[in-house]
C-alpha cells in the first residue's frame, strides 16, 4: 500500500514540477506588466483576454506533459496495472485546475480543454509503461 501512495505523490510532484517549468517559460515570454494592478479584477481580466494563443497552448502543453509523466511515474513505482491510482492523481490535478480557473481569468475553450485533459493524460502515461 505504501508504494502505491508514494507512487501517486511522486507522480504528482513530477507533474507540478513540469507545470512550474511551463509557467516559468510562459512568464518570461508573456510577462505581466509592472503597471498592472493585480487587485483590479477588470484590469487583470483585460490583460488575460488579450494574451496570445501561444500563452494558452504552452500552459496546456505543460499540463499534458506533466500529467503524462505523472501516470508514467505511478506505473513505474507502483507496478499496479489497475487504473485507480492514475484516476486519483488525474482527479487531484483536475481539482487543482478548477481552483486555478477561479483565481485568474481563462478563456472558456481553455477551461473545457483543461477539464478534459488531466485524467486521460495521466491514464495515457500509465498505460504507456505497461508490459
What pTM did the predictor assign?
0.91
**91-105: average pLDDT:** 94
The answer to whether residue 118 sits within a structural domain is yes
Residue 37 lies in a domain: no
Using CA atoms, how far residue 113 sits from 2, 62, 110, 120, in Å, is: 33, 13, 5, 11
Helix (H, G, I), strand (E, B) or coil at 57: helix
Residue 77, domain member (yes or no):
yes
What's the average model confidence in pLDDT over 45-62?
92
**38 domain-assigned:** no
Exposure string over 87-124, b if 16+ CB within 10 A, otherwise e: bbbbebbbeebeeeeeeebbeeebeebbeebbbebbbe
Other beta carbons within 10 Å of 72:
20
pLDDT of residue 130: 67
CA 70, 9, 110, 41 torsion-angle sign: negative
Over range 47-67, report the average pLDDT. 94
What is the model's pLDDT at position 88? 97
% residues pLDDT > 90 (the chain): 74
Q: Is residue 40 part of a domain?
A: no
What is the extent of the structural domain holding 69?
A: 2-31+47-128
Per-residue model confidence as pLDDT tens digits over 6-53 = 999 999 999 999 999 999 999 999 888 888 888 888 888 888 888 999
The pLDDT of residue 129 is: 78
What is the number of domains present in the chain?
Answer: 1
Whole-number pLDDT of residue 42:
87
Question: Is 39 contained in some domain?
Answer: no
Establish if 61 belongs to a structural domain.
yes
Residue at 93 is within a domain: yes
Which residues, including other chains, have CB under 8 Å from residue 69's CB and lie 6 or more apart?
A: 11, 14, 15, 18, 125
User: pLDDT class for 131, splitting at 50, 70, 90?
Assistant: low
Amino acid at each position: 500500500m505504501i508504494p502505491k501512495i508514494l507512487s501517486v505523490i511522486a507522480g504528482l510532484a513530477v507533474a507540478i514540477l513540469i507545470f512550474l517549468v511551463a509557467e516559468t517559460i510562459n512568464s518570461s515570454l508573456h510577462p505581466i506588466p509592472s503597471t498592472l494592478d493585480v487587485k483590479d479584477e477588470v484590469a487583470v481580466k483585460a490583460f488575460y483576454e488579450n494574451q496570445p494563443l501561444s500563452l494558452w497552448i504552452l500552459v496546456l502543453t505543460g499540463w499534458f506533459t506533466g500529467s503524462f509523466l505523472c501516470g508514467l511515474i505511478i506505473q513505474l513505482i507502483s507496478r499496479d496495472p489497475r487504473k485507480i491510482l492514475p484516476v486519483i492523481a488525474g482527479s487531484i490535478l483536475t481539482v487543482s485546475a478548477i481552483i486555478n480557473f477561479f483565481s485568474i481569468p481563462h478563456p472558456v475553450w481553455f477551461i473545457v480543454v483543461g477539464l478534459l485533459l488531466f485524467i486521460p493524460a495521466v491514464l495515457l502515461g500509465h498505460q504507456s509503461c505497461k508490459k
